[in-house]
Structure 1
Amino acid sequence: MEYRREVALVFSLEEALQKLNSMRAHGFSEFEIHVFAKNIKPLLSLKMYTDIHVHEAGNLVDHFWSLFSRGNLYEVCLRSFELSKEERAHYGHGIEQGAYFLIAEHEHPLEKRPNKANAAWNTTNATD
């Protein structure tokens, strides 16, 4: 498996839940899914009962980073994802308008491990 990403910007809670189920059906684990919203109150059950990462866009940390970088408050909350400037502007504007931004990223677990040449042990027959 290789790196995969799914991104969505939806404007209702029902659409967000449908997209979350779709992402899970496409093989993403809950801990690989992030949801950003200006108001996270409708998503509190997701935050409490699942491993989905729910982020409040425009929180105190985002305010700090937007002042520091002189960027848009809602674009700054997406800084940790490798999005283009245009994508951050588009999705940040959507969040500002009240939309839910969903992103799921999947990397193969072996990609984060050291190379065989650098490893101190032989992992050729190891299984996960």
Structure 2
Amino acid sequence: MKVHDILRIVPVVAMVLHGASASAVTPVLAAGTHASGGISAEGRQEMLAKKDLYNVRLTFAEAGTGAYVAGVTVRLESTDRKGVSFGPFADCGPLFYVALRPGLYRVSASYAGVTRQVDVRAGAGAVHAVLHWPAASEP
């Protein structure tokens, strides 16, 4: 390796070591690696501290109130590559982060007998989606 090659990779290594934003560095985790939590204030801080490791971020909440929802089962299926899927991941939320290879994915999330779906495009930058369920007092 030549000196000019080393000088080109030093800024990238420095960004990784100093916690660069997701838009600057593609997630390096294996596809399907995920984290879930955020029920308590401390749990939310823990999740936010590691969010840049994941390029797909989901939040589960009640419609209307915005109250967080936990206990969600999540499945992800590539719509670009036949047969590529992840999950089911049980007892997730209210924050769920996952590292995925670039492409289009259908997220299916089930809570209290109700399934919500959303399509997300994973890429080098982060994508965020919020899935809503009826409030516990609603039918």
The bucket for the TM-score relative to the shorter chain is: 0.3 to 0.5
- TM-score under structure 2 length normalisation: 0.32
Higher helix share: 1
Which has the larger share of strand?
2
Structure number with the bigger relative contact order (C-alpha 8 A, sep ≥ 6) is 1
TM-score by length of 1: 0.34
